[in-house]
Structure 1
Amino acid sequence: MSQGEQIARAAGVVLVMNLLSRALGFVRDAAIAYRFGAGKATDAYMVAYTWPYLIQAVLGFALVSAVVPVFTGYLVKDRKQEAWRAGSNLLNLAAVLLTGISIAGILGSPGLVKITAPGFSTEQTKLTIELTRIMFPSVLFMGLGMLVTGMLNAHRYFAVPAFAPGFTNIIIIVTVLFFAEDFNVHRLALGTLIGFIGFLLIQIPALVRLGFQYSFSFDWRHPAVQKIFWTVGPVILGISVNQIYLALNRVFASGLPPGSLSALEYAYRLMSLPLGIFVAAVSTAIFPAMAEQAIGKKNRELSTTLVQGLGMVLVVAVPAAVGLAVLREPLVRLLLERGAFDRRATLFTASALLYFAGGLIPLAFNMIITRAYYALDDARTPVVTGLLSVGINVILSMIFLPVMAHTGLALANSLAAAANSLLLYRGLRKHLGRLPDRRIGKSLAGTGAASLAMAVVVFKVSGAIRTWSGLAGMKLLLAEVGVGIITGVICFGFLAAMLRVKEVELLMHTLLRARPFPRK
């Protein structure tokens, strides 16, 4: 089996699990929107989770990015027992560190909330501090869970780690629907904490099945621990860029009309759907392969794998961005407009989604390109380009905010992400030499042309359904979004095939050649 087929199978496994997890994520968001709407309570919850989520997303992802190459090195050299000893040390030392971070976060929550939302009223600030203290311990369980994810992925075990976020969402959904009926947002915060405990626990049996041998050791001098320790810091800085964008959005939006911050959050999550489902599947599956190629100094093969991955995400990211822009309002109405989430909240969210959609393509590129840097043991370049893009984001946010309100923040995020993507891609030449730019350019041109034509067709079909179907309410929304998506997929697939976009064939491998269970 070729390397491309192996990646396709692995990506297919992660894709299926991500689809389920993301579907549950939107059920979670819809449940929260139904129960609490878009107002002071949800704004407080979103801000309260800013710092715990920032630490989880950045530190957790950094741990995976650092662990996979190190564990891959042990496995390539057939030193599995040493890998388990390294894993035990990492889990034990991380537990101590993350417990300290959790305690510090609980004690320092008043200051963190004031930094994140300086425009909140006294009452809303007090509520936000209470919610922050409830959720901050989730840092411990998410961090340990991401370490386990890294170990499993290094063994090419992808299914259970990919489903773990979905298990978290199930717990939150149950909490909202059955234990927050009195609109008690504190119970929502507690359910969020319990959900992340589940994120860790559901992965433990999979690690045991692979033969994990735990040892109660705290050897911080272990070579793997030292390597990961010196790698995690730069990786954190490099991958924290998107979370810094979102944190800055909360700072800038805290003085805007109520609901602006929640609208940005909901819109970003909608935009992130293709990233979290397909792009994450490809980047997760491709990372161990690139790490193995980098360890073997196989730069030509690594370059081929990288371009293959970029092409695969292009054929999803480009049409997805266009489709989100065209169907933004009916999509938001279908998924979120019910209960306390009213028409005003829909318009706020849909307008932000239009500008977030433009950032989907560079964010997809970044997810693949940064894996190549980490496989090549270069965490410095993503840090430099990331800091530059944060500066760009701040400047653009200050320019757009007075004119465009919350939508200006979404546009600033997208443009900053595009700048980061270009800088990262250009920087790869120092490691891999000449990259096959023509192949990427051809794929981008083909997918772009097919996506624009698709947009026209979907727009016409959507208008025809509203005018001639005679449907109303939820049936109209289901028809408009459902038929629009199906029409868009068929139209794009046909046009991309006519334009001979090679990655479409590889995408079909991804969807059809999945193997749900790894070899032990």
Structure 2
Amino acid sequence: MKVSTLIKSVGLVTIISGAGKLLGFARESIIAAYFGTSEVADVFFVASLVPTLLFTAIGTAIQAGIIPLFMEERSKSGERARDLMSLLGTFLLMVSILFIGLAILFTEPLIQVMAPGFSPEQTVLAVEITRIMIPGMVFLTLTAISTGVLNANKQFVLPAFSATIQNVVIILATVLLASTYGVYGLSIGVLIGAAGQFLIQYPSFKKMDIGLNFHFRRNKEKIIKIMILFYPIIIAAISVQMNSLVDRMVSTGLDTGSVSALNYANRLLWLPLSVIMTPLITVLYPSIVEGALESYKKFFGIIQKGASLIIFASIPFMILMIIKGDNLIQLAFQRGNFTSEATGLTNQALVYYAAGLVFFALRDFLMNGFYALKKTKFAMYSCLAAVIINIILSVLLSKVMAVGGIALASSISMLIQCIVLFGYLLNKNGRSQGYAVEFAKETAKLLVISLAVTGSVFLAVNLLPEGLNILIETTILTVLIFGLYLILSAVLKVHTMKPIVQKLTTKRSFLK
């Protein structure tokens, strides 16, 4: 993909994703206003994990696995690619329906395992609202199939717009139904929102001429071969979600509101990740697959550039959240039943989640690289190891740092996984030593810049007048952080800044 095309695609997806994530943020803010960090909120956020885990088991495997398979078959024949997707999509849809049936049957023991600290009343409520949301997995599976196919054809707009539809529906359901039906109304909104995600993509997906194909017995060998490739992706995807499950399981044994605090902090953390990093990862994935099919040199070049962009873009957000996370939480959530005490509890988690923001983004990008190479087993093992590390650290750190310890455990596990994944790709590259030295130099520059920016912001906080409006204060500090970061990056000639500086210099010369 050309640089200009990449920039346009990322820009368009960023704008659409940004609108969707801002609506998602509004959704969380409205949920916080209605339910705060209450026991009911804790129940909802645990209950929502069951359909999330089930969908992740299939959905991530579909989106990550379909693109390489579809593009490989398409290079041979468009008809073969469509036939493969019809067969595979139908099979996975049947699997999702089977999962729904099992989940409904075993909802109660699932909740008891996921939330051992819940009271009997909380468990009963969690079971009821989980069963309302679980059928949405059918629509989420269909959405994952259509998203994978559309992205493989480099059609990114409608898949990016899907989240907007879901968030609008959930917001409307909360506002219109929560006062009367409580958390049940919110759960119904989640179910309808899942259906809306697929319906918005259906017109474009229909043009791909991909339908239902129930000839499983005739294509048994092909399905088995694909599932052998897919099962590590499925396990890896479940493992990634297990980190969230571990966080919430451990937090159910802490003070009331701890589960909700972790959820709100996690949502705030993923706002910049979803708006800035996810579009970049999504748009680059087909190019990574193309690079892997052509040569490892081309593949690793895309990985290196993508990783550098993600690290560079993540750092200023990380600094802002660590220094003024309390301001962000107040602006986003503190209203209605979400009190100042809830803000303090949420900020404990946000600070330590933010410390690992770079690695949360980088992990997803590197995982896509392994899927493109079809090194799915190594990706799976790295995810399982990260979960084990997260479990051990969460239990230990929560005893001394409460929700902050749980968040810190997640960040540390992400850091270790990123080191393992990038180290593997680096060693497989023939020029690993040269890349390692270059990467170390760039990291040192970014570390110096980050320390300088952080010190300057702390000084600025002390110089600002007391009683300043929180929105004005946050805006001033945000501009200062991003402005200083970009200026120092240009002065120290950070590699990622070079194309921007050259473009600005060229334009200035032209104007003269």
Which TM-score tier does this pair reach, normalised by the shorter chain?
over 0.9
1:346 aligned onto 2:324: no
4+ runs deviating over 6 angstroms: 507-510
Asked if 1 retains the 8 angstrom alpha-carbon contact of 2:47 and 2:127, the reply is yes
Say whether the 8 Å CA contact 1:161–1:203 is kept in structure 2: yes
Classify 1:478/1:277 alpha carbon distance in 2 versus 1 (closer, same or farther; 3 Å): same
**Residue type matched to 2:404 in 1?**
T
Match of 2:495 among 498, 502, 506: 502
Comparing 406-415 with 387-396, greater Cα deviation is found at 387-396
Deviation at 1:123, TM superposition (A): 0.9
Q: Is the 8 A contact 1:113 1:128 kept in 2?
A: yes
Q: What is the one-letter code of the residue matched to 1:22?
A: K
Q: 1:183 to 1:80 in 2, by over 3 A?
A: same
Whether the 8 Å contact between 2:25 and 2:271 is mirrored in structure 1 is: no
Q: Where does residue 28 of structure 1 map in the other structure?
A: 27
Segment of structure 1 superposing worse, 2-11 or 153-162: 2-11
C-alpha separation between the residues in 1 aligned to 2:488 and 2:59?
A: 39
Match of 2:362 among 357, 362, 365: 365
- Work out whether residues 318 and 448 of structure 1, in 8 Å CA contact, stay in contact via their aligned partners in 2: no
- 2:251 is the counterpart of 1:258: no
Deviation at 1:17, TM superposition (A): 1.8
How far is the alpha carbon of 1:66 from its aligned partner?
0.3
1:65 aligned partner: 64
Does the CA-based 8 Å contact 2:21-2:164 persist in structure 1?
A: yes
1:212 aligns with 2:204: no
Equivalent AA in structure 2 for residue 440 of structure 1: F
Which residue in 2 is equivalent to 1:483?
A: 476
**Structure 1 residues 343, 508: closer, same or farther in 2, change over 3 A?**
farther
- For residues 58-82 of structure 1, the C-alpha deviation after alignment (integer angstroms, 9 at most, x for no partner) is 42112111000011113333x2222
CA offset at residue 43 of structure 1?
0.5
Partners of 1:305 and 1:488 in 2: how far apart?
28
Matched residues in 2 for 1:98 and 1:508: separation? 49
- The residue aligned with 1:272 is 270
Q: Is the 8 A contact 2:56 2:234 kept in 1?
A: no
Q: In structure 2, what is the equivalent of residue 408 of structure 1?
A: 405
Q: Which has the higher contact order (CA 8 A, sep 6+)?
A: 1
Say whether residues 1:75 and 2:74 are aligned partners.
yes
Residues 254-333 of structure 1: pairs in structure 2 closer than 5 A:
254-296=252-294, 298-333=295-330
**Contact 2:27-2:167 within 8 A present in 1 as well:** yes
SS at match of 1:203: helix
- Matches of 2:480 and 2:226, distance apart in 1: 47
Which of residues 172, 186, 189 in structure 1 aligns to 2:187? 189
CA contact (8 A) 2:87 2:214 kept: yes
Shift of 1:450: 2.2
Question: What are the superposed Cα offsets for residues 374-425 of structure 1, whole Å, 9 maximum, x if unpaired?
Answer: 1111001111122222221122122212111111111111111111111111
Equivalent residue of 1:118, what SS? coil
1:387 to 375, 381, 384: 384
1:64-213 → structure 2 map (5 Å cutoff): 64-77=63-76, 79-182=77-180, 184-208=182-206, 211-213=207-209
For structure 1, which segment, 312-321 or 51-60, has the greater mean C-alpha deviation from structure 2 after superposition? 51-60
Q: Deviations over 1:463-483 (max 9, x none)?
A: 44452xx54xxxx12112222
What SS does the aligned partner of 2:179 have? coil
Matched, 1:450 2:443: no
Identity score, percent: 29
Decide whether the 8 Å contact of 1:55 with 1:139 is kept in 2. Answer: yes
2:55 aligned residue: 56
In structure 2, distance between residues paired with 1:13 and 1:430? 35
CA contact (8 A) 1:466 1:480 kept: no
1:425 aligns with 2:422: yes
User: Given the superposition, is the C-alpha separation of residues 238 and 369 from structure 1 closer, same or farther in structure 2, using an over 3 Å criterion?
Assistant: same
Contact 1:322 1:452 in 2 (8 A): no
Q: Distance in 2 between matches of 1:507 and 1:207?
A: 37
Q: Secondary structure at the match of 1:234?
A: helix
Q: Which residue of 1 aligns with 2:506?
A: none
Q: Distance in 2 between matches of 1:216 and 1:380?
A: 29
How far apart in 2 are the matches of 1:487 and 1:237?
42
Aligned residue for 1:40? 39
- Structure 1 CA distance, aligned partners of 2:444 and 2:239? 28
Higher alpha-carbon deviation: 265-274 or 327-336: 265-274
Write the distance in 2 (CA, Å) between the matches of 1:507 and 1:371.
26
For 1:291 and 1:226, the matched residues in 2 are separated by 22
> Aligned pair in 2 of structure 1 residues 223, 488: CA closer, same or farther (>3 Å)?
farther
In 2: Cα distance, 1:227 partner to 1:202 partner: 32
Whether contact under 8 Å (2:58, 2:96) holds in the other structure is no
Distance of 1:106 and 1:508 partners within structure 2: 56
Contact 2:139 2:197 in 1 (8 A): yes
Query: CA separation in 2, counterparts of 1:509 and 1:269?
Result: 36
Deviations 1:123-163 (A, max 9, x none): 11111110110011121111110111000110011111112
Q: For residues 283-332 of structure 1, what are the alpha-carbon distances to aligned partners after superposition, in whole Å with 9 as ceiling and x for unaligned? A: 11111111112122x11111111100001101111221111101111110
State the match for 1:233 in structure 2: 231
User: Taking structure 1 as reference, are residues 59 and 137 closer, same or farther at Cα in structure 2, changes over 3 Å only?
Assistant: same
Q: Which consecutive unaligned segments of at least 5 residues does structure 2 have? A: 504-512
Distance 1:452 1:242, change over 3 A: farther
For residue 441 of structure 1, what is the aligned residue in structure 2? Answer: 440
Q: Distance in 1 between matches of 2:291 and 2:220?
A: 24
Report the Cα offset of residue 358 of structure 1: 1.3
C-alpha distance in 1 between matches for 2:384 and 2:428: 21
Partner SS for 1:180 = helix
Q: Which residue of 2 aligns with 1:517?
A: none
Q: Does the 8 Å contact 1:239/1:382 carry over to 2?
A: no
Label 1:241 to 1:485 Cα distance change in 2 as closer, same or farther (>3 A): farther
Equivalent-residue separation in structure 1 for 2:495 and 2:104 (angstroms): 51
Does the 8 Å CA contact 1:324/1:353 hold for their aligned counterparts?
yes
Letter in 2 for 1:13: L
Give the whole-Å Cα distance in 1 for the aligned partners of 2:157 and 2:228. 29
Question: Number of paired residues?
Answer: 499
The answer to whether the 8 Å contact 2:252/2:259 transfers is: yes
| Counterpart code for 1:504 | M
Worse-superposed segment, 174-183 or 490-499: 174-183
Shift of 1:19: 0.9
- How large is the RMSD of aligned CA atoms in angstroms? 2.0
- 2:510 is aligned to none
Give the TM-score taking structure 1 as reference length.
0.91
Moved more, 166-175 or 423-432: 423-432
**Partners in 1 of 2:51 and 2:502 — Cα distance?**
37
What is the identity, as a one-letter code, of the residue corresponding to 2:15? V
